[in-house]
Chain A
Amino acid sequence: MTDTLLALVPQHGPLVLFLATFLSCLALPIPSSILMLAAGAFVASGDLAAATVVAAALGGALIGDQAGYGLGRVGGGGFWQRLLDSPRSGGIARRAGSALRRRVFPTVYFSRWLFSALGPYVNFAAGAARVGWPGFSIASLLGEATWVGLYVGLGFLFAARIETLGATVSSAIGALAAAVVALLLGRMIWRNRRKKAA
């Protein structure tokens, strides 16, 4: 499937990139990273224009973030309330919501590109936990600009190796996201054990 999508990039680059980044912000399994790397390589070879590539990828990602946040805000309220009311998950949900509101910029900014596998869930959680829209949107804009600039730039610089680079970056992003989840849960387990022992 990736090869079919890659073949669409030189001919319909902006549309493909817009849809790929939009859908990946909604947690759909679209290989948007490799598509942006390929778009960078096609910019380097003169097949695509840098401005349209960046504008399309950034536009799709920003609208995708807003859609995820909106879905959380409109449809996630009930789900979030059930989590808050649950005897087991209530404490975690309250702490997660309060941490997200306190650290909205780093959480949203870094989940756009460094921990991008977590991005769609942060969008939904931010909407459901009623995180302020202006703060979310500014962090989303800067984070997505970093994501798009980084990937298109890497594709431009390493046009000869985009497939190897794509595999490296995908595994690195997965590893970072899993490490963050493991660290947060590990800290929670550690604190719980200490509290029980006290």
Chain B
Amino acid sequence: MTRRDDLPRWVLPVFVVATLLALVLGGMTLWHALTFERYAEGPIEAWMTPGMIVHVYDISPEDMSAVLGLPQGEGKGKPLAEIAKARGEPAADLVARVQAAVDAHRPTAPGAARSP
């Protein structure tokens, strides 16, 4: 027998779950926000394009073209995975080469050199 002033049975469990979720996700948000500055650029990923890598990481377009072995401007708008596939090269190998070049060209890297 249900009374009109009774709440539906689902209200209390949903309230408890929503409260717990809000606390957990709120804590995660706070942690992400507090550590945001610590995470500079992440590692190079296969979905990134040469243009994005030049824009985000401290590497010149000329150095990027040299690493890719492509004339400058070629490969624009294509992710590294696609460039590697077109050459029959595993994407992971190309990503590793680009990562090594980016690391070598960081201003803080020992012996870092930039193209003029």
Contacts and interface: CB of A to CB of B under 8 A. Distances in A.
A10 interface: yes
B25 A89 contact: no
B10 to A, nearest CB: 9
A182 interface: yes
Interface residues of A, number: 45
Interface of B: 2-9, 11-12, 14-15, 18-19, 21-22, 25-26, 28-29, 32-33, 36, 39-42, 45-47, 49, 51-52, 54-57, 76-79, 81-82
B14 A10 contact: no
A88 B2 contact: yes
Contacts of B22: 175, 178-179, 182
A86 B103 CA distance: 64
21 contacts: A4-B47, A7-B79, A10-B78, A11-B79, A38-B47, A41-B55, A41-B56, A45-B51, A46-B51, A47-B76, A88-B8, A159-B52, A160-B42, A165-B36, A168-B33, A174-B21, A174-B25, A186-B15, A188-B7, A189-B15, A192-B5
Interface of A: 3-4, 6-7, 9-11, 38, 41-42, 44-48, 86-92, 159-161, 163-165, 167-168, 171-172, 174-175, 178-179, 181-182, 185-186, 188-189, 192, 195-196
A163 B42 contact: yes
Contacts of B29: 168, 171-172, 175
A154 B42 CA distance: 17
A32 to B, nearest CB: 16
Contacts of B39: 161, 164
- Which secondary structure dominates chain A's binding surface? helix
A20 B12 CA distance: 34
In the complex, which of the residues B12, B54, B79 has the most CB atoms of chain A within 10 Å of its own CB atom? Answer: B79
Contacts of B41: 160-161
Nearest to B40: A160
Given A45-B56, A87-B2, A175 B15 contact: no
Nearest to B9: A88
